[in-house]
Chains A and B, each alone.
Chain A
């Protein structure tokens, strides 16, 4: 099976170049690295490969299933009013688990706000991700505990932080690397272009991992770019590669290769994980207003989890007991997340004034005291 035959199944972005289409469409569909077809067939690629034990393969499957279960629970919690908002990663599990499992502990990750699968790989407790979506904090976890930076909401900004962090790694003489996550929409941000420039100039050990999920809220990739995204790297002087973002093995192989390149001091790589946002942008979004059901259905056939399950079953790497046990583990996770969110208390009002400055600030002190006095003024003589 060839890569071309996969590309030919793409519903919207046909590999056929039609006359005059260059005026608005992206160029002809380029090859994308694939090691596991949507049908669950293991295929070869001349440049990339992974050698994983059945246990490791089951591990990737487990990661994807649990991430999807967590994600579904969070969506439900939003519908139940327990979260103010949720940004679902549905459909992007392979891109996140594949790249996330390519990392070493000493590597550092700069995510956007949808990297729940990467957070899972880094060992960040899923419940920690929910504070900001419930509205009890703006992030709050210690980035240095798991080398997983806070979620960045203003898209693209974190690519510069990742680049600076990577420059610091070089100065330290370390061989760690950094992954900057971003999306097709963020690729239009000037900060991303500046991050490409800085990382190229300083040969920084950073991997730019773009999940091209085809949609920036309601805007398709045609509104962001005229050439395939991964090709942009060439103009900055480093390699770009497009990988099947729904193929966890290919995402793992490509990211690992890019990280190794970074560790060898050969500089940045742009990885474009070609995937699809199966859900809405967030729980506040309504994709029926701007995209066709047929497109989503076509991508359903390329589901990242189903294809690995098919492969595991056909290869005899997992039996029914494994899947049953995972099902039960998923439900336990869902329950744990649900209970943790419902038990998450609102912060005390005085928290408004905490952690604004590391060394303090006279105005903050003054306003904190005023606010405390104001709050105290409501206490009446009956001890309420």
Chain B
């Protein structure tokens, strides 16, 4: 049977397993990814089946993990690196930005860096500090990196396949609070291209653009708005670098209104880039300014406040109302 109902975490696990079975050069490495199977169990069982040579429990040093992954890639391997939590990626930021992103260009294309950096990201799990952040814009800003985030199990499976096959470094943001959300995964389907957006709900009055954990919130908002007679289209961006602006443009040209939603702080976030580009592309189609819903210019708050900080149904609907009021 090729269609299974899987949680996102398990879909990624199955995808890693498939990649490791298919290509002996694929390695999994990170903190606690071996016997434990990772703190979210995304690599569960891989150590048992592929051994410590291919599922590597690393020292607790993120720069070392990414730096040695680069060396392994130069030797011909395809490492899939796990950064345990979003807020732990910064010790590796130098290796990612200064080395991983630029080495292909530095060599005038003569070497390739097929490294996937997996980062469980985002809030909503009641965690302590540094465990709930959304740093995707910090990576999307860097030429040489590709940045993606699945919102559902099927995409999680297929986008991981495609990320591992990519000859470019891919920062793979996993929506950790959706790890246990189940969805159908067809392992023999023909997947959409990695960097194409997908319209997940059709509508005619306004376009909501989101990715990762916020897609679900936007779908719920669209359903609620429907009850009030508003027809909302939801576009799952899937890729933050490159961004499928053509898909967003096509939607906005029909609806005339755009609200971008992400957990990351609004200031300098993906929404700012999308707003600027879509304003330029769709100036005469827009009925209202592009609005953004996201995190505030504040450190991610303590868990008891995260529901106030995170964009939820009501904040999305508030932005929808403000847009429609123009």
Contact = CB atoms under 8 A, between A and B. Distances in A.
Interface stretch (A77-85, A154-162, A309-317, A324-332): A154-162
Contacts, number: 146
Interface stretch (B57-65, B153-161, B179-187, B215-223): B57-65
A197 B95 CA distance: 17
Contact of B74 (A152, A161, A357): A161
Nearest to B60: A197
Contact of A160 (B53, B70, B112): B70
B275 to A, nearest CB: 16
A297 interface: no
Interface in B206-249: 241-245
B64 A165 contact: no
Determine which residue in B144, B243, B245 has the highest number of CB atoms from chain A within 10 A of its CB, and name it. Answer: B144
Interface string B187-212: 00000000100000000000000000
Contact of B71 (A137, A164, A197, A355): A164
A117 B166 CA distance: 36
Interface residues of B, number: 47
B77 interface: yes
Interface stretch (B6-14, B31-39, B101-109, B283-291): B101-109
Interface of B: 53, 58-59, 61, 63-64, 66-77, 91, 94-95, 98-99, 102-113, 143-144, 146, 166-168, 195, 241-245
Contact of A164 (B59, B67, B168): B67
A241 to B, nearest CB: 24
Interface string A150-178: 10101001011111111111011000000
Determine which residue in B64, B102, B143 has the highest number of CB atoms from chain A within 10 A of its CB, and name it. Answer: B64
B242 A198 contact: no
A362 to B, nearest CB: 4
Interface in A139-156: 139-144, 149-150, 152, 154
Interface of A: 137-144, 149-150, 152, 154, 157, 159-169, 171-172, 190-191, 194-195, 197-198, 201, 354-359, 361-364
Contacts of B64: 160, 163, 191, 194-195, 197-198
A121 B244 CA distance: 48
A197 B111 contact: no
Contact of B68 (A137, A167, A190): A167
A354 B109 contact: yes
Contact of A167 (B61, B71, B103, B105): B71
B67 A359 contact: no
18 contacts: A141-B107, A144-B110, A144-B111, A154-B94, A161-B68, A162-B71, A163-B67, A163-B68, A164-B72, A171-B77, A194-B63, A198-B68, A355-B105, A358-B104, A358-B112, A358-B168, A359-B166, A361-B241
Contacts of A152: 99
Nearest to A176: B75
Given A356-B104, A361-B146, A143 B68 contact: no
